[in-house]
A and B are shown apart, each in its own frame.
Chain A
Amino acid sequence: MFLAGCNAVSLGDNDGGQETVKEEKQASDLKVGVSISTLNNPFFVSVKEGITTLASENDTKTIISDAQNDASKQSNDMDDLIQQKVDVILVNPVDSSAIQNAVESANAANIPVITIDRSSDGGEVLTFVTSDNVKGGEMAANFIVEKVGKGAKVAQLEGTPGASATRERGEGFENIAKNDLDIIQSQTADFDRAKGLTVMENMLQSNSDIQAVFAQNDEMALGAAEALKSVGKKDVIVVGFDGNDDGIKAVSEGKIAATIAQQPVEMGKLSLQAAYDYFEGKDISPKIDSPLELVEYK
């Protein structure tokens, strides 16, 4: 038998392997560490606001760090939060794979971790708060059925191949569309506005009778709207996803018909609420859906 302390060479933190001992705590006694991928993006600023708003209502102490979209800075930020012995860490990872080690370090220090919007590829996570993309895809398809009617000819602009948002939004859309709509084309435009424009242009070359377009994010929807505008197709319905500032503005101006809006403030609140629930001894579901909202042009 070797004693752990005798190992000169070891991997990972030395104090791992302890039993997790959960003590119940009031919201006002909690010290919550928050690591956000970037505070230069309005979406994540809103997530942070959701957390800080709920925290100040309950006198919870929060320590916020901004990873500035740098996975290694985020890893350092997480280490600093662990050093400060926070009770729980809410993290919105820069990258699901790169966050893994930091989550494992938190696990070793017995600090529960809640991930927001993006999850962690490894380590133990208390819960993952994210929008229900499948449901969002279904909402988009239902909206098109309602506006254009059953059997309408639709095209889909897909996001980056393999990304979870691409797969889930597509899955939800097709759940409804395969029965109620006629998907004549579905191609990737990498979540990119310029690619949305060119892919839409190409689609219109072969299918000029498209009645509606579902774009898996607002950027591609805006690109598609430009392509439709330039050929004078005003009656084609475009539905985007995300509800970012540009997307909502485009809806209010009637440039696109609707967007499936995520609610980042709500996402932030739900993640902190999950922490409260945990310290009250409640059971936490491994995944928490943040609500989506259909924003349409009136």
Chain B
Amino acid sequence: MMENIKKRKVSLGSLGPLLALIVLVIVVTILNPNFIAPNNLLNLLRQISINALIAFGMSFVILTGGIDLSVGSILALSGALTAGLITNGISPAIAMLIGMILGSFLGLLNGLLITKGKMAPFIATLATMTIYRGATLVYTDGNPITGIGDSFLFQFIGKGYLFGIPFPIVIMLLFFIILYILLHKTAFGKKTYAVGGNIKAAKIAGVKTDRVQIIIYTISGLMASISGIILTSRLNSAQPTSGQAYEMDAIAAVVLGGTSLSGGKGGLFGTLVGALIIGTINNGLNLLGVSSFYQQIVKGIVIIIAVLLDRKQNKD
């Protein structure tokens, strides 16, 4: 009986964001029918893929009660390194692999600072955010890296189509499935929730909480670097300033998806829905010709409403 009630509550919690998304889609479609055209939907999904990939990693971090502010800088540094290596004649496949290893390593550093250095995640990643950004500016000398060439593989990552579907969408869905299984079907996923729910209890129960945290920050770094590589491919150049404020969109996607900032509650499906909500607002308001100044206000209001609704639901 108790279990039944609990289950229903959980499914209601994840239904809220989905309902919000459906309402949003209907409203935008009524105002501009172009929105629902298959071409635009693919366009929208491709646009959200960058944010969604970062937000997937961020979901793990937030589920443990942490935060990762450095993702935008990791995105920029990994993208720049990948582009730099390719322009120096390294094969694109290896360059991308190195870019991903760098991103994972930068995430790992975050995890070490937080667990071994006992720093608050907000402070640790605030510091590394500026360090990684500074390193990007040093590496690129403040200029975009261009002349990446036209290796099919590298161009395909951001601009290719697989059966008519833009490849970044394929990457996004692939990682959604992998990370969904990791979070919801494995012991590691259970430990992630345990750390976020009550870290002391988790420790007593024998969870190696440090190791869990280090791994989730590494995942976050890895996801940011993959976004960075996709972005570099799409733009055919690495911008030293790219990814600025992307941590905010990722956090917003996670929160909009119903994951609690205090940790322990939420899931990956919600994050995908959250990223779709943000994408729909951006793309929809663009289609309606609304100025970007208003778009920012609308985005903020939607986040506030989502969190308020979530509070109310959790109380009921």
Contact = CB atoms under 8 A, between A and B. Distances in A.
Interface of A: 8-12, 14, 39, 63-66, 68-72, 75-77, 79-81, 83-85, 94-95, 97-98, 100-101, 121-122
A101 B287 contact: no
Contacts, number: 92
Given A80-B283, A98-B144, A64 B291 contact: yes
Contacts of B161: 9-12, 14
Interface residues of B, number: 36
Nearest to B147: A97
Nearest to A121: B146
Contacts of B292: 39, 65-66, 68
Contacts of B131: none
B289 interface: yes
Given A66-B292, A72-B231, A101-B159, A77 B286 contact: yes
A192 B118 CA distance: 40
A97 B47 CA distance: 19
B156 A9 contact: yes
A111 B164 CA distance: 21
Interface in B285-311: 286-287, 289, 291-293
B291 A79 contact: no
B204 interface: no
Given A83-B39, A101-B159, A72 B164 contact: no
Given A12-B159, A71-B239, A80-B287, A101 B146 contact: no
Given A9-B156, A122-B236, 13 more contacts: A9-B162, A14-B161, A65-B286, A72-B239, A75-B235, A76-B286, A79-B43, A80-B43, A83-B287, A95-B235, A97-B235, A98-B236, A101-B235
Given A79-B47, A101-B235, A70 B159 contact: no
Given A65-B292, A72-B50, A72-B242, A8 B162 contact: yes
A14 B289 CA distance: 26
A69 B286 contact: no
A23 B263 CA distance: 58
Interface string B245-265: 000000000000000000000
B156 A97 contact: no
